[in-house]
Structure 1
Amino acid sequence: MHRLFSLLVVPLLAAATVSTVGAPAAAHPSKPFPARIALPDGFTPEGLTIGHGTTVYVGSVLDGAVWRGDLRTGRGSVLIPGTPGKPKAGLELDRRGRLWTADFYTGGASVYDPRTGTRLAHYQFNDGSSTLVNDLVITERAVYFTDSVRPVLYVVPLGPGGRLPAPTAFQVLPLTGPGATPDAFNNGIVALPNGDLLVAQMLTGQLVRVDPRTGGSGLFDLGGYSVDRADGLVLRGRTLHVIRNLSNVIAVVRLNGAYTAGVVQREITGPQLRSPATGDLLGSALYVVNGRFDVESTPSTDYDIVRVPA
C-alpha cells in the first residue's frame, strides 16, 4: 500500500514542481514606473534632475523649494522648504552628489547636500538687478550658468577632487557672436564632447556653440529647423533632446560627429506635455517637468512630471 501511494504521489509532486518553475515571477510582475507623477499643487516647477538610482529633484521657480521623489513609486516630499523671493530654476547634481541650483532673478547659485537639504555654498554673481540665472551644466573642471538677460556665462571653477571654491572665486565670461544676440533669452545649456558648450536661445529659436575659454560663439546648424521656445537641453551621446516649453514639443536631434550640426529625427508631442520646462534621462525614458507657463500659477494649480519614450 505504501509503495502504491509513493508510485502515485511522487510523480504528481514532480510534475507540480516542474510546472511551477518561474511561476512567482509570472504571477507577480514588476510594477511599471508611473507615467505621471504629481507634484504639490501650486509648486510652480522649473528645474529637474535625476540623481542616484530613481531619485528625482524638482525646483520651484516660485519660492525656491526643492521636491525630492522616487520615479519608481511616484512618491516624494519637499526636501528644501521654499522662501518667498528666493526662486530656483535649473538644477544639476555633480559627480560628488552635490545639488547645484540656478537661483534665477536673485543673481546667484547655491549648492546643497541632496540628502539633508543643507546649503553647502552660495555664489552671488551680481547684485540681482536685470538678471535671470536660468540653467547650468557641470563639467569636470567647472560649473557654467546661463543668464537669460545678460550676454554672459557665470563660471564656478572646481578645485582638485571637485572641491568647492571660495564664494568669490567665480568668473563672469562675456559672450561674443550670436551667443550675445540682444533679447535672445539664453536658457538651457549642455557640454558637448568636443569641449564646446551648447546653449538654447528661447526667443531666436536657435542653438549656439560657445567656447568655454573665450566666450566666442557660433550658430549650431539645424538645417533651418527652429527651436522656438527652447528651454531645457538633454544630451546623451549624439542624441540631443530640445524641450520647447510653450510649443509643447520635444525635438529629438541627431548630432554629427564634429558636434557642429544636427538633424531633427522626430518630434515628441501630446496632451501630456503642458509647457514642459526641462527634463532628464533614465534608461530609455525621458522625464520632463511641466511648468504650465501658459496659465496663472495659483495655490491650487496642479503640476506634474511625465515620462515619454526617449
Structure 2
Amino acid sequence: MRRTTTGDPARRGLSALVALAAVALSAAPAAPVAPPASATPEGEAAEPGQVIVLPGASSAEGIAAGRGSTFYAGDYFRGDIYRGDAEAGTAARLIDVPRGRHALGMAAHPRHDLLFVGGGRTGQAYVYDIGTGRTVASYRFGPAGTTFVNDVTLTRSGAWFTDSRRARLYFVPVDRDGKPGRSTALRVSGPAAGIKGPWNLNGIQATPDGRTLIVAHSAKGALYTVDPVSGRSAAIAGVSVPRVDGIVLHGRTLWAVQGFRGQVRRIALNSSLTSGKAKKTIKSELFRTPSTAARFGNTLAVVNAKLHTGTPPTAKGYEVVMVDG
C-alpha cells in the first residue's frame, strides 16, 4: 500500500549489470550483482583505490550505507536507485522510478527496509521499500524550483531533510512499525539561516541520541549545529569547508565532501560540538567532483557526481570511489 502526502505516481523495475575498475575509470568485464552481504555491523569494503561503476546511470549524487557492506546510490536526474556491495565491488539498478523524479541525498533504514531520498528541485522527497522497490510514501515540501530538497539523515524517530533554497528543515516521522507519517517543517534561525545564492543548507547528520543535527552550508563553507526542537543554529568554530556538499558523522569524527575542491576533509569535533579541527584532507586522482560519501569501517565510498561537466552532467559514466577515510 502506498502512502502519499500530496500525491506522486510510482513505477518500478529492476536491471542487473555491474563493473569494477581498479585505479581507472573504465569498466572491467561485467559480473552479476551479489545479494546484500551479511557482514559485520561495521561492514567491509573493497580495497581503497577501487571504483564501483553504477551501470547505465545518467548522473549520480547521493549514497547511503545499508546492512553490512550494502550501499544505495541514486541517479540524480533520472531518480533511479542502485544497490551495491562495497565488499564485492558491484552495483546494479534496483528501482526504476517514475519519470520526473530526482535522487539526491539518501538515508537507509535497514530495520524497516526503507530508503529516504531527497528529490532536489522537484520540492519532493520519497520513501522506497528497498525489499520490493515500491514507493511507500512521497512528500511535497514546497514548490518545485523554489524548494530544493537536498540531503537527509535519520534519527530514532524519523527523517530530517535539508532545503538548499530556504532556511528550513523537513521532518518525516516513522512509527515503530516503519510507517512514515505526516511531514512538518522547521524554520532554522541563527547563523545557519543565511541564504546566499542557490546552494545553502546541504549535507546533514544527527547525533546518535537525535538531540542535535549537524548541517553543512555550501555557500558559507561552514558547519552548524541545529536544535531539532527550536531550529536554533550555532556555528562549529575552527572549521572551514568551502564548497561543502555531503557529510558523514561517526562518533566525534566528521567527513565533509568538498565537491568542486575535489577532496574530503576529515574533522575532529569536540565533545560539545562547538568546535572542530581538520585532521586530514583526502584526495584521489579518481575523484571527479565528488558529492556524498558513506562509511564502511575505515573506508569511505565516495560518489563521483561529475558536475564539473555541467548540470545535468554530460559524462559517459558514473561511479563510487573507495578511499581510506
Give the alignment's TM-score, normalised by structure 2: 0.80
Residue 129 of structure 1, CA deviation: 3.8
**Which residue in the other structure is 1:123 paired with?**
139
Q: Where does residue 145 of structure 1 map in the other structure?
A: 161
Which residue of structure 2 lines up, in the alignment, with residue 178 of structure 1? 191
Match of 1:232 among 238, 246, 251: 246
The answer for the alignment partner of 2:225 in structure 1 is 209
Q: How many angstroms apart in 1 are the aligned matches of 2:321 and 2:123?
A: 29
The answer for the alignment partner of 1:52 in structure 2 is 67
CA contact (8 A) 2:306 2:315 kept: no
Give the aligned partner of residue 124 of structure 2: 108
Q: For 2:82, which of 67, 87, 91 is the aligned residue?
A: 67
Cα drift, residue 298 of structure 1: 6.1
Using the alignment, how far apart are the partners of 1:212 and 1:66 within structure 2? 29
Q: Distance in 2 between matches of 1:279 and 1:257?
A: 23
Is 1:302 the counterpart of 2:317? The answer is yes
Q: Look up the match of 1:262.
A: 276
Residue segments in structure 1 that go unaligned for 5+ positions in a row? 1-30
Do the aligned partners of residues 173 and 300 (structure 1) sit closer, same or farther apart at CA in structure 2, a change above 3 Å counting?
closer
**What root-mean-square deviation, in Å, do the aligned CA atoms of Structure 1 and Structure 2 show?**
1.9
Task: Note the C-alpha offset of 1:299.
Answer: 6.6
- 2:104 aligned partner: 89
Supply the AA of the counterpart residue of 1:289.
V
2:179 matched to which residue of 1? 163
Structure 2 distance, partners of 1:309, 1:48, is 17
Distance (Å, rounded) in 2 between the aligned partners of 1:270 and 1:300: 18
Q: CA 1:92–1:295 in structure 2 vs 1: closer, same or farther (change >3 Å)?
A: same
Unaligned runs of 5+ in 2: 1-44
Instruction: Report the Cα distance in structure 1 between the residues aligned to 2:235 and 2:96, rounded to whole angstroms.
Output: 40
The secondary structure found in structure 1 opposite 2:191 is: helix
Q: Is the 8 A contact 1:41 1:300 kept in 2?
A: no
Look up the match of 2:259. 245
- Aligned letter for 2:122? T
> Higher helix share goes to which structure?
1
CA shift, 1:116, in A, is 2.1
The separation in 2 between residues aligned to 1:179 and 1:265, in whole angstroms, is: 24
State the distance in 2 between where 1:120 and 1:56 align.
19
**Distance in 1 separating the partners of 2:314 and 2:89:** 21
More moved, 187-196 vs 260-269: 187-196
How far is 1:273 from its partner? 1.4
Q: How far off its partner does 1:193 sit?
A: 4.4
Q: Report the alpha carbon displacement of residue 33 of structure 1 after superposing the two structures with TM.
A: 4.4
- Contact map agreement 2:81 2:93 (CA 8 A) in 1: yes
Cα separation, 2, equivalents of 1:32 and 1:205: 31
CA distance in 1, matches of 2:144, 2:202: 17
Identity %: 35
Question: Which is bigger in relative contact order (C-alpha 8 A, separation at least 6)?
Answer: 2
Query: Are 1:140 and 1:162, in contact at CA under 8 Å, matched by a contact in 2?
Result: no
Letter in 2 for 1:308: V
Paired with 1:42 and 1:120, the residues of 2 have a C-alpha distance of: 23
In the alignment, the residues of structure 2 paired with residue 263 and residue 245 of structure 1 have an alpha-carbon distance, to the nearest angstrom, of 20
298-307 or 94-103, larger mean C-alpha shift: 298-307
Task: Pick which of 80-89 and 118-127 moved more.
Answer: 80-89
Aligned residues: 275
Contact persistence 1:187–1:232 (CA under 8 A): yes
2:309 match: secondary structure: coil
Alignment partner for residue 291 of structure 2, among 264, 270, 277? 277
TM norm structure 1? 0.83
> Is the CA contact (8 Å cut-off) linking 2:243 and 2:260 kept in structure 1?
yes
After superposition, what is the alpha-carbon deviation per residue over 1:251-281, rounded to whole angstroms, capped at 9, x for unaligned? 1001111122111111001211111110111
Distance 1:300 1:177, change over 3 A: closer
Aligned to 2:215: 199
Larger radius of gyration: 1
**Preserved CA contact (<8 Å) 1:192 1:259:** no
Note the C-alpha offset of 1:174: 0.8
Residues 259, 299 of structure 1: alpha-carbon distance in 2 compared, 3 angstrom cutoff: closer
Please list the CA deviations of residues 227-262 of structure 1 after superposition, one character each: whole Å capped at 9, or x if unmatched. Answer: 011101101111100111110111100111112211
Change (3 A) 1:141 1:226: same
Q: Would the aligned equivalents of 1:41 and 1:301 in 2 still touch at CA under 8 Å?
A: no
